């Protein structure tokens, strides 16, 4: 059995962990909103129709920021439809997901929900079918204190104080031909720059995200980013990145190495942004908002869309995630943390039902999917500064990504408590001994080893009937001598190794 090695030294810092890395996404798609976060008449709903059981799980998940209202949905959305008396709101065709949007849940309801969930709102503006003025109107309604038509309208709707939304997306995936309002990079770049300038005239404190490519496989990838940033670099704070990994083909070895692709994606976007910065003599370095990512059985979507007509809130891509999917999600979080110096925001898509860590039954209970657990534990323990890790690992061959390491790791050191957390993924089919060298932190002792292992039952899932079938379990606490110890990582597993000062 081959052994892996890992040395941790607190002197090799990457960057502090930004809490915005633990974001999620609520889109008007499927049952994410209606039947997910919002269900008037449900036994657990409050007087605003918000499901308190979903709110409880959102807080447990550790979500820091939530992107809203899309996604593809936003590219045809009139934000004014979702404010004011519910009985007066129009019913509209949603072209993105071929559904009827009732607008019973809108901006004011979302802001109420965000306040109760304790999350920062991240708003997206429609640059598909609309433009500069509509974006400015939404910002004025949301953030201006009062004394204008739109800010006073918000106050009449019950929000005396401005919402103070700090994060704004300038549209969504407008490189995609599936988008309502699809544009070329030059068309979008000019519109985004004009919108950014105007929005910052209203509120200079906001941060703006320009649309990057919908995924790394787009034929315009990198060229899109370069052109968009030629127009927008001086006006925006982030460029977005989106990616999903599909288990549908059954290639488990490649699926487990998905983080290799995410890692390369981040490096490519950073290189492209830095090229534009050099060309324009920009001293400021732009960061990435990785505001859509997850595992997604994408082959199922078209069948969902084709098998019904225009209806309200149909079930769309309500994937049931396996133990292997949870290991992959944990590894994607490892990658995001490893790039904490350039990834400043990240949003797992989506929060509830639609490829979400939280599943619900309309009128029934809510439960944690397998992918809930690596997100919640990473959000809980990844506090402090990311440390650079250079593991020595055996390797294996994959069909999609070639030769890849069996072990993937990241470490986070909390200087305020001197606690250390190592997140380690064993992608291999057998147990992996890991030799740890912690002589750079000589006062630390092991306090816990948590694992979510898929090796014994890779197809295991959590369901309404068995909501806790896939959960993390404790393994023997790491022990060692002289700053060295060895732990065993189970086959196909995501692991949390925690160390704290000796008492």
Separation CA 411–CA 263 (nearest Å): 16
| Residue 118 CB neighbours (<10 A) | 12
Asked if 38 and 109 count as a contact pair (C-beta separation under 8 A), the reply is: yes
- In angstroms and rounded to an integer, the radius of gyration of the C-alpha atoms of the chain is 23
Parallel, antiparallel, or unpaired: how do β-strands 120-125 and 65-68 relate? parallel
| Burial profile 287-296: b = 16 or more Cβ within 10 angstroms, e = fewer | bbbbbbbbbb
Separation CA 426–CA 259 (nearest Å): 12
Asked if 308 and 314 count as a contact pair (C-beta separation under 8 A), the reply is: yes
| Residue 348 CB neighbours (<10 A) | 27
Please confirm, yes or no, whether 173 is among the known catalytic residues.
yes
Choose, from 173, 194, 318, 419, the residue flagged as catalytic: 173
Three-state DSSP class for 42? coil
Closest alpha carbon to 392 in 374, 406, 372, 380: 406
CA distances from 253 to 324, 416, 493 (A): 10, 39, 13
DSSP H helical segments within 144-213, as ranges? Answer: 149-156, 185-202
CA distances from 323 to 78, 107, 244, 410, 472 (A): 39, 35, 17, 21, 10
Asked if 68 and 26 count as a contact pair (C-beta separation under 8 A), the reply is: yes
Asked if 342 and 288 count as a contact pair (C-beta separation under 8 A), the reply is: yes
Separation CA 309–CA 85 (nearest Å): 28
Separation CA 52–CA 138 (nearest Å): 28
Please confirm, yes or no, whether 292 is among the known catalytic residues.
yes
Beta-bridge partners for 168: 123, 208
| Burial profile 388-415: b = 16 or more Cβ within 10 angstroms, e = fewer | ebebebeeeebeebeebbbbbbbbbbbe
Choose, from 101, 292, 318, 419, the residue flagged as catalytic: 292
Catalytic machinery residues: 173, 292
């Amino acid at each position: 059995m081959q052994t892996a090695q890992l040395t941790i030294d607190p002197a090799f810092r990457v960057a502090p962990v930004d809490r915005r890395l633990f974001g999620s996404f609520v889109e008007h798609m499927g049952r994410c909103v209606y039947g997910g976060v919002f269900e008037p008449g449900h036994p657990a709903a409050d007087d605003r129709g918000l499901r308190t059981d979903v709110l409880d799980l959102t807080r447990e998940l550790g979500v820091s920021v939530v992107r809203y209202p899309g996604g593809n949905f936003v590219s045809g959305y009139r934000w004014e439809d979702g404010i004011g008396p519910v009985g007066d709101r129009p019913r509209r065709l949603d072209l993105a997901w071929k559904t009827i949007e009732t607008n019973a849940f809108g901006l004011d309801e979302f802001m109420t929900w965000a306040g109760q969930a304790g999350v920062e709102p991240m708003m997206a503006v429609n640059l598909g079918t609309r433009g500069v003025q509509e974006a400015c109107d939404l910002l004025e309604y949301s953030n201006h204190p009062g004394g204008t038509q739109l800010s006073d309208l918000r106050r009449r709707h019950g929000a005396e104080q401005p919402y103070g939304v700090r994060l704004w997306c300038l549209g969504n995936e407008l490189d995609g031909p599936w988008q309502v309002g699809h544009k070329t990079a030059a068309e979008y770049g000019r519109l985004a720059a004009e919108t950014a300038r105007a929005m910052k005239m209203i509120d200079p404190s906001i941060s703006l995200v320009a649309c990057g490519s919908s995924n790394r496989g787009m034929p315009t990838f990198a060229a899109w980013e370069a052109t968009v940033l030629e127009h927008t670099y001086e006006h925006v704070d982030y460029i977005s990145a989106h990616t999903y990994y599909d288990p549908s083909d059954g290639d488990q070895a490649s699926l487990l190495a998905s983080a290799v692709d995410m890692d390369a994606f981040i490096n490519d976007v950073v290189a492209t942004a830095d090229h534009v910065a050099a060309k324009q003599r920009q001293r400021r370095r732009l960061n990435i908002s990785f505001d859509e990512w997850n595992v997604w059985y994408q082959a199922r979507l078209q069948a969902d869309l084709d098998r019904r007509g225009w209806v309200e809130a149909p079930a769309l891509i309500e994937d049931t995630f396996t133990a292997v999917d949870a290991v992959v999600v944990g590894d994607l979080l490892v990658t995001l943390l490893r790039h904490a110096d350039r990834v400043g925001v990240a949003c797992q898509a989506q929060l509830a039902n639609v490829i979400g860590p939280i599943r619900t039954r309309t009128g029934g209970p809510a439960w944690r999917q397998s992918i809930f657990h690596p997100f919640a534990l990473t959000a809980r323990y990844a506090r402090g500064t990311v440390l650079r890790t250079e593991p020595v690992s055996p390797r294996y061959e994959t069909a999609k990504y070639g030769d890849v390491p069996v072990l993937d790791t990241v470490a986070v050191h909390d200087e305020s408590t001197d606690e250390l957390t190592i997140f380690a993924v064993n992608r291999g089919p057998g147990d992996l001994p890991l030799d740890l060298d912690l002589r750079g932190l000589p006062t630390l002792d092991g306090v816990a080893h948590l694992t979510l292992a898929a090796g014994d039952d890779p197809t295991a899932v959590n369901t309404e009937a068995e909501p806790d079938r896939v959960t993390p379990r404790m393994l023997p606490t790491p022990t060692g001598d002289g700053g060295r110890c060895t732990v065993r990582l189970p086959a196909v597993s995501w692991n949390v190794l925690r160390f704290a000062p000796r008492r």
